[in-house]
Amino acid sequence: MIFFCNFATSKLVTNMLRTHNCGELRIDNKAQEVVLCGWVHRSRNLGGMTFIDLRDRYGLTQLAFNEQVNKELCSFARTLGREYVLQVEGVVCERSSKNPKMPTGDIEIEVHNIKVLNQSKTPPFTIEDNTDGGDELRMRYRYLDLRRNILKQNLSLRHRLSILIRNYMNDSGFMEIETPFLIKSTPEGARDFVVPSRMNDGQFYALPQSPQTFKQLLMVAGYDRYFQLVRCFRDEDLRADRQPEFTQLDCEMAFVEQEDVLQMFEGLMKYLFVKEKELEFGSFPRITWDEAMRLYGSDKPDVRFGMQFVELNDAVKGANFKVFDEAELVVGVCVKNCADYTRKQLDELTEFVKRPQVGASGLVYIKVTEGEIKSSVDKFYSPQQLTSISKKFNAQTGDLILILAGEKHKTRAALSCLRLEMGTRLGLRKSDDFAPLWVVDFPLLEWDEDTQRYYAMHHPFTAPKTEDYPKLFTAPADVRANAYDLVVNGVELGGGSIRIHDRDMQNDMFKTLGFTEEEAKNQFGFLLDAFEYGAPPHGGIAFGFDRICAVFSGVDSIRDFIAFPKNNNGRDVMLDAPSNISQAQLDELNIKLK
Ligand code: ASP
């Protein structure tokens, strides 16, 4: 029901329902007649005076009602509940007690007319920065959660970044071209979401995991600089930084080599940092994949802090300490100024590394203290040996060395988790500190024990380094790719590669991946065919756009940079999707449920 409280001759007849928004009035507007629209954020009843904070996307403005000036209006104002939608008319006045924390805190509106545009039920949680609503409840009423400041800020950041990106891409000669959402399912990569086709009985479309093959076809077609801010779909288990549908900034260029792509997109990132954060960067550091794994145990290292790995095989083996003697790799980090860690703190760290997600079997420590060196392996190593180990880390008095041992890949991964944990505990991963870097020279292939075959580490269209190509059939694991990732603060923001543009090389790649000729033709025949009609050399990259937004805000989760995200079970709890469909729909699709 809409009702009207007409206490004075209304001047509310304008094309727009308001003259100003709730965030823009200042002392300079004093004495102006204004009309505002918004939601009742909160109201305070102080005897003779009633105040309402009116809220819209732009901010809050205080409305004042003086009982002595207009008793009836003041009583009416008191009846207005939280989240009612109002149109108010009044005059801008200077506040007697100003609020320096509010941009509009110098003024208030002395209201002489209110129209209730709509009523509201009491919301199930408070629309405040520190809301009392739990996750699930806020997801169910996402449109109310979206009224809160944090989400408004996140979505406006997302909007600004998308405009900046489009400007940069446009100024650099890229064309935005849309590619289809209903495509063909392929077994490579992550799991596809599939869509049944009514008109093609028993057949399915897949939703794209990325527009990879289309952007390559656009290169064949001659659109030599393409980009798209595009939704992608992957049916994977969810984590904080993953959603089943997410947005990529997808890009491709023809007639380029790796260096050209790196320069172009380093330029983009620098542009975003300058425009959004007023941060200037020199050239981004580059590190090879091998080095990243050796120094940080991760292909997306957080280099906001040092704590690089030091490998200790040579220094520790042969002292009859079985754990080290039998390990493929013994490796450690030096944590500054933590030699005073207590037994309890060290036990906690041991528990941490033993968690299944981290996977180490134990933790060895060395404490470098004034005039003394102590360790959990004193039985096996003399103080001289421990000192010489600590020198490998350049450890100083007061430092703590943490060491893990075991199978190479697992141990590196576990130490990487420990390194990040220590970085977090010591406050070295500051959210307003940004450390971008390129990781280059990824291996082309990775071996999978379960299926006993090679998989493309990036995707099957990635070109091997020219000098490594001859090893494709003799030593596939040693072939490096022209592939690169852009990493910021330990997050892979983007990844791409120079592509294969030669049919024979692409066939060789499919062969290495265990595809029969028939399978390759069946799944990627269209691309192989296109390579026979003048495919130019090309390469590109795709960025996780939601991730860029999260990293720019210094948070891990991408969920709150998406207006209507899914929960951790891939559900939209507001829509209650996915849901069953009717028998009639199933029949039409000729789908029989078990
Ligand atoms: N399509 C790739 C991906 O989604 C990115 C690229 O190679 O451009 O990871």
3-state secondary structure of 444: coil
Q: What local confidence, expressed as pLDDT, does residue 187 receive?
A: 77
**Which residues are within 8 A (CB) of 338 and not within 5 positions of it... i.e. 6 or more apart?**
398, 399, 400, 422, 426
Distance from the alpha carbon of residue 503 to the mean position of ligand 1, in angstroms: 20
Q: For the residues 140-155, what does the mean pLDDT come to?
A: 98
**Residue matched to tokens 């007849």:** 13
Q: What local confidence, expressed as pLDDT, does residue 377 receive?
A: 97
Q: Which atom of ligand 1 is nearest to the CA of 462?
A: 7
**Which residues are within 8 A (CB) of 557 and not within 5 positions of it... i.e. 6 or more apart?**
240, 241, 550
Beta-carbon-side half-sphere exposure of residue 593 (alpha carbons within 13 Å) = 8
Q: For the residues 493-520, what does the mean pLDDT come to?
A: 95
- Interval 202-241: pLDDT, tens: 999 999 999 999 999 999 999 999 999 999 999 988 777 7
Ligand 1 pocket residue status of 495, Cβ below 6 Å:
yes
Task: Name the DSSP class of 211.
Answer: S
CB–CB of 20/36 below 8 Å? yes
**Residue matched to tokens 């506040």:** 95
- Fold (CATH) for 3-118: OB fold (Dihydrolipoamide Acetyltransferase, E2P) (2.40.50)
CATH superfamily of 152-287+437-562: Bira Bifunctional Protein; Domain 2 (3.30.930.10)
Q: Out of 207, 219, 234, 458, give the residue to mutate to test ligand 1, the one with the largest number of ligand atoms within 8 Å of its CB.
A: 458
Residue 455, pLDDT above cutoff 60 = yes
Q: Whose CA is nearest to atom 8 of ligand 1?
A: 541
- Interval 39-48: pLDDT, tens: 999 999 998 9
Distance from the alpha carbon of residue 495 to the mean position of ligand 1, in angstroms: 6
Q: For the residues 409-435, what does the mean pLDDT come to?
A: 97
Q: Out of 183, 186, 210, give the residue to mutate to test ligand 1, the one with the largest number of ligand atoms within 8 Å of its CB.
A: 210
Q: What local confidence, expressed as pLDDT, does residue 186 receive?
A: 84
Residue 60, pLDDT above cutoff 90 = yes
Q: Which pair of structure tokens corresponds to residue 409?
A: 């890949």
Q: What local confidence, expressed as pLDDT, does residue 273 receive?
A: 98
Q: Which helix (H) or strand (E) holds 497?
A: strand 491-498
Tell me the whole-structure pTM to 2 decimals: 0.94
Residue 7, pLDDT above cutoff 60 = no
Q: For the residues 167-194, what does the mean pLDDT come to?
A: 94
Closest CA to 83 of 29, 142, 43, 133: 43
- Interval 521-534: pLDDT, tens: 999 999 999 999 99
Ligand 1 pocket residue status of 542, Cβ below 6 Å:
yes
Mean pLDDT of the chain: 95
Residue 1, pLDDT above cutoff 70 = no
Ligand 1 pocket residue status of 212, Cβ below 6 Å:
yes
Residue 494, pLDDT above cutoff 80 = yes
Q: What CATH code is assigned to 305-429?
A: 3.30.1360.30
Domain boundaries, the chain: 3-118, 152-287+437-562, 305-429
Beta-carbon-side half-sphere exposure of residue 88 (alpha carbons within 13 Å) = 32
Q: Which helix (H) or strand (E) holds 519?
A: helix 517-530
Residue 343, pLDDT above cutoff 80 = yes
φ/ψ of 419, rounded to 5, equals -60, -45
- Interval 313-342: pLDDT, tens: 999 999 999 999 999 999 999 999 999 999
Residue 8, pLDDT above cutoff 60 = no
User: Same CATH topology for 152-287+437-562 and 305-429?
Assistant: no
How far is residue 310 from each of residues 66, 293, 322, 332, 374, measured CA to CA in Å?
A: 72, 12, 20, 5, 19
Q: pLDDT band for 15, please (50, 70, 90 cuts).
A: low
